[in-house]
Amino acid sequence: MLDIKDFSFLENQNSFDFKGFFVKILSYWKWFLLALIITFTVAYQVNIRKEKIYGMDASIVVKDENNPFFTSNTSLVFNWGGTSDKVQTIITALKSRSHNELVVDKLNYYIDYLKQGKYNLTDAYGEVPFYVQIDKTREQLAGIPIQIKFLSDTEYQISVNFENTSVGTYIYAVNRVDNANVQSGTYTKKFKVGDKVDLPFLNFKLFILPDAGMYTGNEYFIRFNDFDGTVARYKSINVDADAKAGSIIRLDLQGTNKKRLVDYLNTTVEVLKKKQLDSKNLFAINTISFIDSTLLAMEGQIKDTEKELKDFRKDKNVFELEAGGEKLTERLTSFDVERDAILRKIAYYNSLSSYLRGSNDYSKLPAPTVAGIEDPNVISNVSKLILLSTERSQMAYSVKSEKMFKEFDKEMDAVKRVLLENINTAKGALQYDLSLANRNIGEIESTVKKLPEEQQELLKITRKYDLSDNIYNTFLQKRSEADIVKAANVSDIEFIDTAKDTGGGLLGPKTSVNYILALLLGILIPLVIAFVITILDNSIHTTDDIEKLTRIPIIGVVGKKNTTNNLSVFEKPKSPLAESFRAIRSSLQYLYKKQKGDSTKILMLTSSVGGEGKTFCSINMATVFALSEKKTVIVGLDLRKPRIFGDFSIENNIGAVNYLIGQKTLREIIQSTHIPHLDVITSGPIPPNPSELILGDSMREMIEELKGQYEYIILDTPPVGLVADALELAQYCDATLYVTRQNFTKKGMLSIVNEKHKRGELHNISIVLNDFESRAKYGYGYGYGYGYGYGAYGSGYMEVEKPKTFMEKVKSVLFKK
């Protein structure tokens, strides 16, 4: 009955041998070397194919530039806001889509100028001798490189390779993608420099730069890219406020072409400066526009009044008519001007009030001073409202935060409420001034009515003309003020350092990173493979593996076969392999002495499965006994798969089977060999019932007869893991050698011999590790003293075969028959 103790050999199977694993990993050094060569080669190829990455930078300062023509007495006020508000606004604007669209469009950066590099097309912006001027309303070939080869100074050839019959095109004026039909293959056509290229998929003119130099015969490429995609790439520009100086902004941009980076950085600042200055001048521009429209209307009134005055003066004594009315005219004109100014103010307030209540865009409001309003509260709030409205419209392209828009709207509403209160207060005061002016005018008009009729008419016409002329001159003065202030305005953004190529700026590629990655992968990949192999590997490699799996003693370690046949001990008696068998023989002699003394010794060799070297060990164990002048016989009892005959150049026509079935006598089946003192009994013909033959009495009789003739009987049996024949023969044996093979025998197979040993079916059993190589890829070379591996101390005792050189190994492979 099975006992749980029978499986005690499994206790240590789950422990991981870190030392053994480390030694094993070292044995894979060739794998690591190969992997490192491959990974470093790949890293090198990647590095040499990568374009160099450069970084360019620029810095600007944001100031509060006060207009030198602005004083407390100036009628017009133009301000853009404080520095603290502007810095963040400028940073947001520089990263905004709308701003970068303007810069990309101005520089035509959606057009790539390329040249053929060593491995691929490279950016040649700033190096090509030409530029193209496209028709933005027409189609341009999308994304396909267009080869341009200069045939002469004035002629060039276009070549495009079409893989399909339809290609994509861009129409940049409307930012639209379209399609054009073409013929597949290579399209080629010649053009003159400056002439229009008018094709279904291309529409541009090519011009030569003034400093082009020699370019005849050279080849270049142009490529049209998606406009939005190009803008998206440049939106990645890095813009940050200086940590130590809040009004300083630093810009940097990375790319493969320094000239392109420099132009973009400088242009993006110039575009922003113009945009900011236009915003700063928006108040003045609105005022000038309002004044111009007013002056245009008043010019007609003045002309009509002047004509009326001339017509009236005809055939009349003007001096007599004007006598006595000059002072009245002056006083009346003075009061008319005063009333007109009040009415203009009230009209402005009414218009402004309606505008505030009915509109959300306040960027086009004219300055209050055009109506003669000098209330600082009104002027300041109107200016602030224009600024907020302008900023909000700009943010619509770059900011997606509803919260920020709500904050702007909230602030604008607050300013608007304050402004409406200012308007109501100011209008109340103006109504009083208006009534006073009207009363004064009424008093003078009552006096005028006492004058003669013609004098009254002249006074009326003169009064109308003087009023129009006075108002016209007032508006001209205010327009002049607005022009002066606008011309004197300067941008609040100034360069500290423009972007400039000074020869540096190289950022990448980071070749060291690729090489570090290659090193890591070169180590990690074989390490993982070795680890997986180790985890999945279930073969026996060392005596340590055997000792962990079984308590059966190891009697010896046999090296790799060093001959073409199995007669290794006989052909090379002084080799380490022969010494390993002699060591096993010595250990067996010790076991025999403990048992029966000097009687015939029977040794059985078996294994788990075929291929583990059982027959090889049987032949060589028999040989070491025979060479010690002990009469020895090998009995081939692997009746299913006979092996012992070919190495001795004998036939397998008759053998043990013939004796067991009673056909032959023992003398007839024994065959002598060329090895002194060694005889062989082959298996003979393969029987249909090998197990029954071994179980019969004939086997016992054969063993008894052989004991009378030989000192050592070697039984070569079938694998115990496949058939039960060896178990039936164990009763005749004094000792059993269980043969295992390095890198072949599976660890689980030892459970079979463990079970048989625990049950007593195999007694006096020992294990032989066959085909062992101390410098194998597993790295174990313990040298257990079993006669294998004397090293330098074996000089003179053994014929150690020198390892083959690399060339010898190559020759042996090439000329192997």
Give yes or no for a contact between 659 and 699, defined as CB atoms under 8 angstroms apart: no
Q: Is residue 296 part of a domain?
A: yes
Instruction: Specify the pLDDT at position 139.
Output: 94
Paired tokens of 209: 């730069």
- Cα–Cα dist 302/475, whole Å: 13
**Amino acid at position 296, single letter:** L
Query: Which stretches of 379-474 are assigned E, i.e. beta strand?
Result: none
pLDDT the model gives residue 78: 41
Lookup: tokens for 686 = 């393969």
In angstroms, the Cα distances linking 499 to 25, 53, 466 are 54, 16, 59
Q: Check whether residue 714 and residue 590 sit in a common domain.
A: yes
Q: Indicate the SS3 state at residue 174.
A: coil
Three-state secondary-structure class, residue 117: coil
- Do 415 and 559 fall within a single domain? no
Positive or negative torsion for Cα 560, 566, 572, 574 = positive
Q: 103 and 234 in contact (C-beta within 8 Å)?
A: yes
pLDDT of residue 541: 83
CA angle centred on 140, ends 136 and 146, rounded to 5°: 135
DSSP state of 154: S
504 falls within a domain: no
Q: What backbone torsions phi and psi does residue 598 show, to the nearest 5 degrees?
A: -105, 15
pLDDT of residue 793: 34
Distance CA 537, CA 764 (A): 30
Structure tokens given for 158: 């276009």
Residue 314 burial (CB count, 10 A): 7
Contact in structure between 598 and 729 (CB atoms under 8 Å): no
Check whether residue 798 and residue 674 sit in a common domain: yes
Residue 590: exposure state from Cβ atoms within 10 A (0-12, 13-18, ≥19): exposed
The answer to whether the beta carbons of residues 75 and 249 sit under 8 Å apart is no
Instruction: Give residues with Cβ within 8 angstroms of 257, minimum separation 6.
Output: 54, 123, 124, 125, 126
What are the residues facing 605 on neighbouring strands? Answer: 716, 737
CA 183 to chain CA centroid, Å, is: 37
Q: Domain count of the chain?
A: 4
Same domain (yes/no): 318, 430: yes
- Please indicate, yes or no, whether residues 91 and 227 belong to a single structural domain of this protein: yes
Does 244 share its domain with 298? Answer: no
Let me know if residue 497 belongs to a domain.
no
Rounded-to-integer distance, Cα 674 and Cα 659, Å: 23
Cβ(235)–Cβ(97) below 8 Å: yes
> Does residue 772 sit within a domain?
yes
Token pair belonging to 95: 């990263």
- Say yes or no: 481 and 613 in one domain: no
* Boundary of a domain, candidates 273, 303, 331: 273
At 80 the pLDDT is 38
Q: What is the CATH number of the domain that holds 670?
A: 3.40.50.300
Residue type, 683: S
Which structural domain, as residue segments, surrounds residue 249? 62-69+84-273
User: Which of 208, 241, 273 delimits the end of a domain?
Assistant: 273
Residue 670 in domain: yes
Question: How many whole angstroms separate alpha carbon 266 and alpha carbon 261?
Answer: 9
Residue 440 counted as domain residue: yes
| SS3 of residue 157 by DSSP | strand
- Tell whether omega for the bond before 509 is within 30 degrees of 0, i.e. cis: yes
Tell me, yes or no, whether 157 and 267 share the same domain.
yes
Spell out the SS3 assignment of 652-718. CCCCHHHHHCCCCCHHHHCEECCCCCEEEECCCCCCCCHHHHHHCHHHHHHHHHHHHHCCEEEEECC
| 197 and 241 assigned to the same domain | yes
Same domain, 445 and 525: no
The Cα–Cα gap between 499 and 258 comes to 10
Q: What is the dihedral of CA 498, 503, 508, 513, to 10 degrees?
A: -130
CB-based contacts of 623, cutoff 8 Å, min separation 6: 567, 569, 570, 581, 675, 678
Classify residue 169 by burial, with Cβ atoms within 10 Å: 0-12, 13-18, 19+.
Answer: buried
Structure tokens at 560: 């790799």
Give the length of the chain: 817
**Following DSSP, what letter does each residue of 341-395 receive, concatenated?**
HHHHHHHHHHHHHHHHHH-S--TTPPPGGGGT---HHHHHHHHHHHHHHHHHHHH
Are residues 623 and 480 both part of a single domain? Answer: no
Q: What single string gives the DSSP state of each residue in 708-750?
A: HH-SEEEEE---TTT-SHHHHHGGG-SEEEEEEETTTSBGGGH
Phi, psi dihedral angles at 634 (to 5 degrees): -105, 130
Q: Which amino acid is at 713?
A: I
Q: What Rg value do the Cα atoms of the chain yield, rounded? A: 55
Of 488, 521, 551, which one is at a domain's C-terminal end? 488
Q: From the first residue on, what is the mean pLDDT of each consecutive set of 10 residues in the chain (817 residues)?
A: 42 57 80 93 87 90 62 42 65 89 94 92 94 95 95 95 94 92 94 95 95 92 95 92 85 93 95 82 72 73 69 54 56 74 80 78 69 77 76 60 70 83 82 80 66 60 68 73 71 87 82 89 90 82 86 90 87 89 88 69 88 90 92 89 84 88 89 92 88 85 90 88 77 89 87 84 87 60 38 42 58 53
Interatomic CA distance for residues 138 and 717, integer angstroms: 93
**Are 135 and 36 found together in one domain?**
no
Look at residue 478 in the predicted model and tell me its pLDDT.
73
698 burial level (CB within 10 Å; 0-12, 13-18, 19+): middle
User: Is residue 405 a part of any domain in this protein?
Assistant: yes
Structure tokens given for 429: 């005061």
The closest of 225, 203, 232, 219 to 144, measured between CA atoms, is: 225
Domain-embedded: residue 107: yes
DSSP class of 803: P
Phi, psi values for residue 101, rounded to 5°: -65, -40
Q: What values do phi and psi take at 365, rounded to 5?
A: -65, 135
Give yes or no for a contact between 95 and 398, defined as CB atoms under 8 angstroms apart.
yes
